[in-house]
Every structure is written in structure tokens, then in C-alpha cells.
């Protein structure tokens, strides 16, 4: 479970709020994995639901960022867009590893850890670069 911290802020409320939402979605994944009472079939369906919510929201968030980059003529727009595209592809690849009857909880936990790593690296590395540059 990751908790939002002020140091995650990229200086724009709209993006901070969207990042908080992404964290919320990823955290809900961990909650499900930890629920030992839930049957594998239901767990599988629910986790898949979270994955599609995550992918949809990620694409929506990246689109919001990219539109503002273009509007503001942000110098690293192309570089940042490429990183977004790679990110989406990586999430899709991870999600494709998740199969019913194949260690759902173990695989989901690995995916969860990777998602957190990527998101934190993205926010603290790539996104921080646009701080004070989109005004």
C-alpha cells in the first residue's frame, strides 16, 4: 500500500489528483490480493477488472498530460510521450501474464510491485521534470 506524500507532488493539482487516483487503483489491487477469503475465480475477475480500470485511467491521464505539454510547448514532449507509450505497453505485457489457475495471487503481487515501481519512478523522475515548466 502506498500513501500519497507531499514529495510526490509535480506542482500541478490536476496531475497530482490523477496520480492519486492511479495510486488508489493500484492500492485496491493489493487489498484484493491480501483477501484470503475470496475464491480464485472471483479474485481473477476482480483483478482483471482493476487491470482494465488501471489501463483506461492511465491512458486518460497520459492524454491529459500530453495535451497540456503540447499546449504549453513543453520541450520534452516527445521524449515524455515515448515513455508513456512504453509504460502502457509494459502494463499490457504484465497484465497478459495474469492467467486463471496460474498462481493468481503470486503473479498479481509481482505485477502490483512492478506497477508501484514504475509509477513511482515515473512521477519522481520523468514527471518531476515538467515542474514549473507548464505555467
Q: Which residues bind Fe ion (CB under 5 A)?
A: 65, 127
What cell does 47 get?
A: 483483478
Q: Which is nearer to Fe ion, 37 or 71 (CB)?
A: 71
Least distance CB 65 / Fe ion (angstroms): 5
Q: Which residues fall within 8 angstroms of residue 35, CB to CB, at 6 or more apart?
A: 43
Q: Which is nearer to Fe ion, 105 or 128 (CB)?
A: 128
| Residue closest to Fe ion, measured at CB | 127
Least distance CB 69 / Fe ion (angstroms): 9
Least distance CB 103 / Fe ion (angstroms): 31
| Three-state secondary-structure class, residue 20 | helix
Spell out a b/e string for 67-88, using b for 16 or more CB atoms within 10 Å of the CB, else e.
ebbeeeebeebeebeebbeebe
Amino acid at each position: 500500500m502506498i500513501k500519497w506524500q507531499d514529495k510526490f507532488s509535480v506542482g500541478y493539482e490536476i496531475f497530482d489528483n490523477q496520480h492519486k487516483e492511479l495510486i488508489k487503483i493500484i492500492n485496491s489491487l493489493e487489498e484484493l490480493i491480501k483477501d484470503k477469503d475470496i475464491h480464485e475465480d472471483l479474485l481473477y475477475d476482480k483483478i482483471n477488472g482493476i487491470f482494465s480500470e488501471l489501463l483506461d485511467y492511465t491512458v486518460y491521464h497520459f492524454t491529459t498530460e500530453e495535451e497540456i505539454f503540447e499546449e504549453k510547448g513543453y520541450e520534452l514532449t516527445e521524449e515524455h510521450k515515448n515513455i508513456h507509450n512504453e509504460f502502457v505497453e509494459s502494463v499490457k505485457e504484465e497484465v497478459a501474464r495474469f492467467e486463471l489457475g496460474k498462481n493468481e495471487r503470486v503473479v498479481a503481487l509481482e505485477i502490483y510491485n512492478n506497477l508501484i515501481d514504475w509509477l513511482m519512478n515515473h512521477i519522481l523522475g520523468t514527471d518531476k521534470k515538467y515542474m514549473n515548466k507548464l505555467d
